[in-house]
Amino acid sequence: MAGKGEHVIEVTLPSRPEYLLVARLATSGVGLRAGLTVDDIEDLKVAVAEACTNVINHAFKKDGGSGGQRIQLRLTAGKGELTVEVEDEGQGFDPEDLKKSQRSGLEGEGGLGFGLMKELTDTFRVESAPGSGTRVIMVKRATR
Amino acid sequence: MAGKGEHVIEVTLPSRPEYLLVARLATSGVGLRAGLTVDDIEDLKVAVAEACTNVINHAFKKDGGSGGQRIQLRLTAGKGELTVEVEDEGQGFDPEDLKKSQRSGLEGEGGLGFGLMKELTDTFRVESAPGSGTRVIMVKRATR
Amino acid sequence: MRIRTDAVDECTTVCRVGGELDAYTAPDLRDSLDGLLEKGARWIVVDLKDLTYLDSTGLGILVGTAKKCRQAGGDLSVACQRRNLVRIFEISGTQEILNLVATAEEAATRLQELHEGCPEDASGEEAT
Amino acid sequence: MRIRTDAVDECTTVCRVGGELDAYTAPDLRDSLDGLLEKGARWIVVDLKDLTYLDSTGLGILVGTAKKCRQAGGDLSVACQRRNLVRIFEISGTQEILNLVATAEEAATRLQELHEGCPEDASGEEAT
Ligand SMILES: Nc1ncnc2c1ncn2[C@@H]1O[C@H](COP(=O)(O)OP(=O)(O)O)[C@@H](O)[C@H]1O
Ligand SMILES: Nc1ncnc2c1ncn2[C@@H]1O[C@H](COP(=O)(O)OP(=O)(O)O)[C@@H](O)[C@H]1O
């Protein structure tokens, strides 16, 4: 539930790359209303897109993604801060595995996603477990 | 349910004027992916904003709008067309009343909303009744 | 939304509105225009050159202000060329009541024609 | 996203990428760059002057292409000045591997320095 003075905006999208744009646009609009700066918003757009791209790439067995394969975006606008939750009901993973395979993102063509989310937001958390979906929670506070 | 090749994007917003921007941005993003032209999208943005502005102005008794007073936006992207449903669980109204009080919008400072929605979309329908909320359904097809 | 107000001559005031005019930003425009009227302005050009979005809430304010100008013995003219916005004026049938023209210059000329000569006092406070 | 490819000289090819580069548009860029490599290009400038959005998917393609260029005996240099994008290169630590510079001119010079003189044939098909 939203606290006092907080506003919740929910966006549910097909888990497909063409709708990353919609996730970014929604983040921009709510970010503006939450009082984030243009630079804050650019950062947060990347962080949100990274979380959504992970859902698209990793959450579901590859089988088209037309039906119930969805990305849930929950934006909570507070005074000078925006909390974004990106959630899926996909296969999940063990966040501990990330620490083990701490290969630098430069080595492969991937692995940068969580690194960017962490660096581009003020608070970052992943909740996931094999078989139980994934939720990424990020907070961006207005600079200035 | 979405038909084959259709994608559904749902956006739920507080019934507050500051989030009209988010409704318009979401419409733009999905409109682009549905293959609408830039002009089509400009038209549809106005139509969607009119429907949302009606929710804000008419759906709920004035008492802040913080809690459960929400606007539901459902965008269904098909090939070359976008269907938008704008729904609220507010007090509703009798669409027959509109015909009776067919005063020109120019006389007062209002009354233009439904006229613009009709003119700016290809299909337009309102479902409402006193006490049961309101749903506006609009379809915009790509020109060209 | 951005609002900037300039006096063109003793009797004409130009209000330039940029950005997006919707139910969220409309109260600011209404306040600005009401403020002008209170200060005695009654010949007002609303220049929408840099406006990118307009809907019925904005139209309502423009039409309402046009009426107030006329009640005060003046008039209002809207300058707008952007195709999608002109379409909104057309569909709503508000071009005439708003003296819709393409540019701020044309709008000033239009008002000049309408008042044919500048009334001496432009600081009256008839709008109470 | 918009992609435009131009030969600068016998050995250097510039690929200008504008708009937004994300997981939706990335396959087009990958195809373009792979196509250049297949045609024998191995000294590639990627000019991101008009790019407004970039994330890890785009970085992955740029890093992957840089490696392919090196395997083919060439290299890649990325030109980008936009603050928010430069930040993404910095955070990801990819500036060096991508020979990140500010402008396409600097990128061409950078490649010139790296290959010191233009190898005679630029149409080989070593990348099989
Ligand atoms: N939503 C998700 N569902 C399932 N697995 C995920 C999800 N998000 C991330 N992962 C797992 O975490 C790993 C690291 O993600 P990330 O840092 O974004 O890099 P990359 O996506 O390039 O592998 C992924 O490779 C994947 O195994
Ligand atoms: N979502 C809604 N909930 C309740 N009443 C509504 C809703 N939308 C429209 N109405 C009713 O329909 C009327 C006409 O709406 P509209 O044509 O948009 O003009 P305006 O909003 O300027 O009155 C409104 O005045 C209101 O009584």
Please provide the DSSP assignment of D73-99 as one string: T-EEEEE---HHHHHHHHHHT-TTTTT
What are the distances in angstroms from CA C104 to CA B91, C59, C83?
A: 43, 18, 16
Mutate to test the pocket of ligand 2, among B58, B86, B101, B127 (most ligand atoms within 8 A of CB): B58
Considering chain D, what is the average pLDDT of its residues?
91
Distance between CA atoms of residues C23 and C20, nearest Å: 10
Domains defined for chain A, CATH in brackets: 7-141 (3.30.565.10)
Question: For residue B97, what pLDDT is reported?
Answer: 84
Per-residue confidence band for C19, with pLDDT thresholds at 50, 70 and 90: very high
Q: How much of chain A, in percent, has pLDDT values that exceed 90?
A: 78
- Does C116 score more than 90 pLDDT? no
Q: How much of chain D, in percent, has pLDDT values that exceed 90?
A: 84
Helices D83-92/D56-71 angle, 10° precision: 70
pLDDT for A75-99, tens place per residue? Answer: 999 999 999 999 999 999 999 888 7
More confident residue, B108 or D108: D108
CB within 8 Å: D92 and A110: no
Tell me if chain B has a CB within 8 Å of the CB of C106. Answer: no
CB within 8 Å: A26 and B22: yes
- Does A132 score more than 90 pLDDT? yes
Question: For residue D121, what pLDDT is reported?
Answer: 46
Contact between A23 and A73 under an 8 Å Cβ cutoff? The reply is yes
Contact between A87 and A74 under an 8 Å Cβ cutoff? The reply is yes
Q: Cβ contacts of residue D25 below 8 Å, gap of 6+?
A: D1, D19
Question: For residue B109, what pLDDT is reported?
Answer: 39
- This complex has an ipTM of 0.92
Q: Smallest Cα–Cα separation from B72: which of B11, B17, B8? A: B11
Indicate whether this model's pTM tops 0.90: yes
Domains defined for chain C, CATH in brackets: 2-114 (3.30.750.24)
Distance between CA atoms of residues C24 and B21, nearest Å: 9
Q: Which two tokens stand for residue D59?
A: 């970085």
Helices marked H in D13-80 — which ranges?
26-38, 56-71
pLDDT per residue, tens digit, chain B (144 aa), is 567 789 999 999 999 999 999 999 999 999 999 999 999 999 999 999 999 999 999 999 876 545 689 999 999 999 999 999 999 999 999 998 887 665 544 444 346 899 999 999 999 999 999 999 999 999 999 997
Q: Determine which of B1, B4, B8, B13 to mutate to test the interface with A (most A C-beta atoms within 10 Å).
A: B13
